């Protein structure tokens, strides 16, 4: 039988090994939160506040966002933080499991929380708002965010694409807005049409292509959901690589599209054709 002294020494050694992670046994969430994960943005250490809660890495939404040039406001009535970045508003509640970006909902593990009057949000979620992909390295106990560079599209492309989407898909769902944007970008890639967003929208080779160009609504300020849809399309989030035309059969004055082009799908009030 082991002595009481031997048992106490063995327990003390075991406790020390667990704290140091020296047994090879995974460290539990509560133990690992005694240390903070390292966070890097494109290889550079993040200097803002980092917290670990229930195995999820959090940052202050205002601190992280403002370091990227975004504007953050507090809506007292709803209790939400609103991040304004490149024409798109992202909303986060004080205890929420998702961000609302334009018309998109970005769900994440864990919940946002408030500490010392500051909202904390999972770094993977807020990083996505700024174009980062997040990778977790368990061995190094670190979160690496890559991307976040200047978009591969120009402000001029975003300006015009968001306006044609807003004018053509007013009242349509977010998917309907994506579909309209997809048509424009598919035309840019097609040899049948001009090779720029502006050129496609204002193309008059076979007459005015889009009604908003004729009636002037193309110049109206787009709603935030249309801006979000335009951005998503420009970042590669298109719905179908074939669609080049669309029409609303209930108000169409010409049925050339439906008689001459291949039908692909219907979204909301619009039928889309290749």
d(CA 130, CA 83): 11
* Contact predicate 133/146, CB 8 Å: yes
Provide the CATH number for the domain formed by 26-147 in this structure: 3.30.457.10
pLDDT at residue 105, as a whole number = 77
Q: Quick: pLDDT tens for 220-244.
A: 999 988 988 898 888 777 789 899 9
d(CA 184, CA 201): 7
Name the fold adopted by 155-273.
Arc Repressor Mutant, subunit A (1.10.10)
pLDDT at residue 136, as a whole number = 92
d(CA 220, CA 223): 9
Please name which of 154, 151, 177 lies closest in space to residue 164, comparing C-alpha atoms.
Answer: 177
- Provide the residue count of the chain: 274
pLDDT at residue 27, as a whole number = 37
Residues of the chain with CATH 3.30.457.10: 26-147
pLDDT at residue 180, as a whole number = 96
Give every residue of the chain whose pLDDT is below 50, as ranges: 1-32
How much is the pTM? 0.51
d(CA 196, CA 100): 30
Measured between its terminal Cα atoms, the distance across the chain in Å is: 83
pLDDT at residue 33, as a whole number = 54
pLDDT at residue 143, as a whole number = 95
Cα-Cα-Cα-Cα torsion 152, 158, 164, 169, nearest 10 degrees, comes to 80
Residues of the chain with CATH 1.10.10.2520: 155-273
């Amino acid at each position: 039988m082991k002595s009481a002294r031997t048992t106490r020494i063995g327990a003390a050694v075991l406790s020390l090994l667990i704290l140091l992670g020296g047994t090879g046994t995974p460290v539990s969430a509560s133990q690992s939160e005694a240390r903070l994960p390292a966070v890097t943005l494109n290889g550079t250490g993040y200097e803002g506040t980092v917290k670990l809660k229930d195995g999820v890495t959090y940052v202050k939404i205002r601190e992280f966002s403002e370091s990227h040039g975004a504007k953050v406001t507090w809506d007292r009535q709803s209790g939400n933080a609103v991040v304004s970045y490149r024409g798109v508003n992202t909303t986060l509640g004080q205890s929420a499991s998702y961000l609302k970006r334009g018309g998109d909902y970005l769900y994440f593990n864990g919940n946002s929380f408030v500490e010392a009057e500051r909202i904390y949000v999972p770094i993977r979620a807020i990083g996505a708002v700024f174009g980062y992909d997040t990778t977790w390295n368990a061995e190094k106990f670190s979160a690496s965010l890559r991307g976040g560079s200047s978009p591969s599209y120009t402000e001029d492309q975003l300006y015009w694409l968001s306006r044609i989407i807003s004018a053509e898909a007013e009242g349509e769902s977010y998917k309907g807005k994506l579909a309209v944007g997809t048509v424009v970008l598919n035309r840019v890639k097609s040899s049948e049409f001009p090779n720029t967003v502006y050129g496609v929208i204002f193309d008059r080779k076979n007459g005015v292509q889009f009604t908003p160009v004729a009636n002037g609504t193309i110049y109206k300020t787009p709603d935030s959901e249309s801006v979000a849809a335009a951005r998503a399309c420009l970042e590669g989030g298109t719905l179908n690589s074939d669609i080049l035309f669309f029409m609303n059969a209930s108000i169409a004055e010409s049925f050339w599209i439906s008689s001459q082009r291949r039908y692909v799908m219907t979204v909301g009030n619009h039928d889309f054709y290749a």
